[in-house]
Structure 1
Amino acid sequence: MSPQRARLHWTGQAASDAIRQAAARGLLLAAEHTLAASRQRVPINEGVLERSGAASVDEQQLAAVVSYDTPYAVRVHEDMNARHLPGRSAKYLESVLPEVAGDVQSLIGAQVRRALRS
């Protein structure tokens, strides 16, 4: 039996860079998905709070943020005694996190898998 030969061309840094970029894309998709879910629960008076929602990613830290930017966003989020329209509630961001956790993992994973196939 003759010896088998294989040639390996290692592109470790390029692979790491592609995975990191894919993870950042996945984080943005996941943050946007979380934002969309939370917008379904944001208490609505005039719609300003809902429209102030944003999703962003720090690609260096690989961290995603979903935020609402009004002077009263935190107060509305935390006031468990306030009354809201049906389907709208306090904790409009916090309450969706456990529900979208699986989707978040899937979105990030799909982007990383796609990068690994390239």
Structure 2
Amino acid sequence: MAQRVRVKWNGGAVSASMRAAELRGLRLAGEHVLTESRKEVPIEEGTLERSGTVSVDPGSRRAAVSYNTPYAVVQHERMDFHHDEGRSAKYLERPMTTNRGTVRDIIAQQIRQGLS
């Protein structure tokens, strides 16, 4: 006895859903790093801290966390500057490194949710 099975392939919809989930994961992971880095960013008047932002480039599928002041790079790189307790140079590099696993997990979670 022969049976027939009909399958409808929704590859385009699945790809679109995965792409959206991936970009959402990148945004959320970037926001996590930004939140963590704001806990360490040198603070005098708060201008540097407030300038922090996350951007996602859908074309390259990359996220960036940045601070936009004329002195952001100098504050990040100069290890000889003295900062208030809990604030330091490498305020972006350190949270990215220490939260690497969390960043990966945030992105993976969004992708898993996109599959369901």
Q: Is the structural similarity TM-score above 0.5?
A: yes
Distance of 1:26 and 1:63 partners within structure 2: 10
Note if 1:28 corresponds to 2:15: no
Structure 1: gaps spanning 5 or more residues: none
Note if 1:13 corresponds to 2:12: yes
Letter in 2 for 1:61: S
What does 1:29-48 correspond to in 2, within 5 Å?
A: 29-48=28-47
Aligned to 1:94: 93
What does 1:46-57 correspond to in 2, within 5 Å?
A: 46-57=45-56
Aligned to 2:63: 64
Secondary structure of 1:98's aligned partner: helix
State the percentage of identical aligned residues: 51
TM-score under structure 2 length normalisation: 0.94
Deviation at 1:112, TM superposition (A): 0.8
Distance of 2:66 and 2:39 partners within structure 1: 14
Structure 2: gaps spanning 5 or more residues: none
Distance of 2:80 and 2:6 partners within structure 1: 67
Secondary structure of 2:99's aligned partner: helix
Secondary structure of 1:10's aligned partner: coil
Secondary structure of 1:9's aligned partner: coil
Distance of 1:6 and 1:107 partners within structure 2: 38
Distance of 2:3 and 2:91 partners within structure 1: 60
Per mean C-alpha deviation after superposition, the further-off stretch among 4-13 and 77-86 is 4-13
Deviation at 1:110, TM superposition (A): 1.0
Secondary structure of 1:71's aligned partner: coil
Q: Aligned-residue CA RMSD in angstroms?
A: 1.2
TM-score under structure 1 length normalisation: 0.92
Aligned to 2:79: 80
Letter in 2 for 1:7: R
The 4+ residue runs of structure 1 with deviation greater than 2 A are: 2-8
Letter in 1 for 2:12: Q
The count of corresponding residues between Structure 1 and Structure 2 is: 116
